[in-house]
Amino acid sequence: MSATRAALPPKHRPADTGDRPVDRRLGSTLLRHLAVVLAVGLLLVAVSYAVEPFRNFQLATVAAYLCATAGLTVLTGLNGQLSLGHGALMATGAYTVALCQNAFADRGMTGGWLLPLSLGAAIVSTVAVGAVVGVAAARLRGPYLAGVTLAVAIVVPALAVTFDGVFNGEQGLSVPVEPPPLSLGPYFPYERWQLWLTGAATLLALLLLANLIRSRYGRSFRAVRDDEVAARLAGIHVARTQVLAFVVSAATAGLGGALLAVLAQSVSPGAFSLTLSLFLLMAVVIGGLGRLTGALWGAVLLVALPDLTHSVTELLTLSPAVAQRLEGNLPLAIFGLTLIVVMIAAPGGVQGLLSRLGRGLLARWSARRS
Amino acid sequence: MDRFVFLTIDGLSRGAVYAAFALALVLIWRAARVVNFAQGAMAVAAAYVAYTVSTTTGSYWLGFAVAIVAGLLLGALVDRVVMRHVDHASHLNPVIVALGLVLLIQAVLGMVYGNEFRPAEAPFSRSALTVGGVAVLSPYDLFVFATIGVVVSGLAWMFARTPVGLRMRAAAFAPEVSRLLGVNVGGMLTLGWALASGVGALAAMLVMPTELGLHPHAMDLVFVSAFTAAVVGGLDSPPGAVVGGLVVGLLLSYVSGYAGSDLTPLAVLVLLLAVLLVRPGGLFAPVAARRV
């Protein structure tokens, strides 16, 4: 046993995979990532035919959340900047999509290219907001940054209520979305179309993020996270790197929020409360900071946990009032508790546990062979 | 002019509460180098305990006392059970754990009491007394000022003049040396958490009747305001926290009085950003040496 343990890498390695030497046999990083994305895309299409519509919708929601959690992983896990305001950035993207789609609908414009245009506008507007917050964030450290982004998370939903002429207050806006194109057939299920849409957008975002992480910029992100002074001595412009990380993660958060709005076909300030921002952070931490696969676990958790608690509360025979109280709050409690336990017991998160398990099995297997 | 006087006094009264809450943040920051993002949720929990006691016994003052005791115990519990076991190597870790606590506490409160607003009673009248035709202080304002004054001066006296205060300062400033000199550093840390949480619970009891009432999220915005107050004063400075609290209280009162209450969160954000960008250490912190 001690021999296998010695074969394991040191325990206190920073929690990311980006530092691994690139495997040359598999060709360029871009090609490899493209292949993975294509494979996952094909798998998604196959799955979308195999499962019922509700599951399709759930998978689409996972994809939308994954967009946001992947961006937050880059920011917090790779660059070491803590943001509690990503819910607000998602709200920015969601409201932009709603305003664009409504404007198109009012002018009677139709066509398949409108939605990508709106999504692009959502990304542009969140990039602008992200750049403003990011410039401030690059000058702030630790708890100060957390405090400012916390304030952003509380202020942005309040803005929607203040300027209710544009954003329609607590009611929010509806997001008109066109039905699937007729070329797919008249009875094409709407949920499957939703999954295709969000899946495609998210896979594209993930492809860009994965390549960014493996690039020179990704290395500077990690260098700044690990030691700002050393990074500066190595010739990295620390503030510029931090702003870039913030802008990138803001763009994906905006896209995630926009996709969520398209899925729900509505947007309201209540959907983007402080709790959502906290949820995103929880998801990223529980999934495993610093790994995009960790962001996937987090996004799955965000969708599955409320569903799971719903089934549990249905199993127990409770009065409707009690059941309603439990249903809203039980996932929150579980999330909070999991977060505390994970931070204390397994800072690598789910993905860290899995890869440690995998590495252990691999080491045992190779030990048996030799 | 009447309106200005009224808004100023209202702002000072609110500011006193923010000052107390900011002081609680500063206490933990000085003792453990942690900004306790769960402070608001912990204070709400104490206020709910007080609500239960007050409604079952019918006595406001019993509930008030229980809130402070509950706050003290909760603070000690959070330190002993949770915070002590967190790896403080990265400054992210304690913040993330505190946010987990926020979710957990708010969810448990929601499960036990429900997510609706509950009225929070005030022990004194909140209608202002008039002096020479001008509405000035309400009895409740006086009560707030007196309570906060007693707590702040009590804490100042404790830290400056008592052996326990000296040990707490030593434990925060130089833990290793203090340990060698026989100071129970862990115990001092727990005491710091308990005191801060007790002060936070007191602040929550004072601010609840002036806000919408009791709700699991009732302290979210108050926390942001208090954090801003602590940053305005510099996280390391207790007098700074008090001044910062009064500044934030006045600002919020003027903004909501002259521009509309919807804009107060925005005003807090602008003030927070302005202070952090111009003087990140706060107005009261000594200028630190540049690192590179």
Per-residue pLDDT tens for A214-269?
A: 889 999 999 988 888 899 999 999 999 999 999 999 999 999 999 999 999 999 88
Q: What is the C-alpha separation between B113 and A91, in angstroms, rounded? A: 29
- A7: pLDDT confidence band, cut at 50, 70 and 90? very low
Assess whether pLDDT exceeds 90 at residue A112.
no
Selecting from A281, A326, A331 the residue whose C-beta is nearest the C-beta of B96 gives A281
- A5: pLDDT confidence band, cut at 50, 70 and 90? very low
Any B CB within 8 A of A364 CB: no
Q: What is the C-alpha separation between A101 and A176, in angstroms, rounded? A: 6
Selecting from B29, B217, B276 the residue whose C-beta is nearest the C-beta of A148 gives B276
Nearest residue to A216 via CA among A202, A231, A197: A231
Q: Over the stretch A170-203, which tens digit does the pLDDT of each residue have?
A: 888 888 888 887 778 777 888 888 899 999 999 9
Restricting to A residues 236-255, those with a Cβ less than 8 Å away from any Cβ of B are none
Q: What is the C-alpha separation between A280 and A83, in angstroms, rounded? A: 10
Indicate which of B81, B87, B99 best probes the interface with A, i.e. most A CBs within 10 Å of its own CB.
Answer: B99
Q: Over the stretch A122-160, which tens digit does the pLDDT of each residue have?
A: 999 999 999 988 888 888 877 888 888 988 888 888 888
Label the pairing between strands A173-174 and A266-267: antiparallel
Question: Cα A123 to chain center, whole Å?
Answer: 14
Selecting from B35, B269, B292 the residue whose C-beta is nearest the C-beta of A143 gives B35
Q: With CB atoms and an 8 Å threshold, state whether B37 touches A285.
A: no
Q: Over the stretch A268-325, which tens digit does the pLDDT of each residue have?
A: 888 888 888 988 988 888 888 878 888 888 899 888 888 888 888 778 777 777 777 8
Nearest residue to A287 via CA among A100, A77, A56: A77
Mean predicted confidence (pLDDT) in A9-29:
50
ipTM above 0.90, yes or no: no
In chain A, what are the domain boundaries? 31-174+190-273
Any B CB within 8 A of A154 CB: yes
In this structure, the dihedral spanned by the alpha carbons of residues B79, B83, B84 and B90, taken in order and rounded to 10 degrees, is: -150
How is residue B84 written in tokens?
């002590």
Chain B residue whose CA is closest to A164: B262
Q: With CB atoms and an 8 Å threshold, state whether B96 touches A84.
A: no
Q: Over the stretch B58-104, which tens digit does the pLDDT of each residue have?
A: 888 999 999 999 999 999 999 999 998 888 777 788 888 999 999 99
Any B CB within 8 A of A344 CB: yes
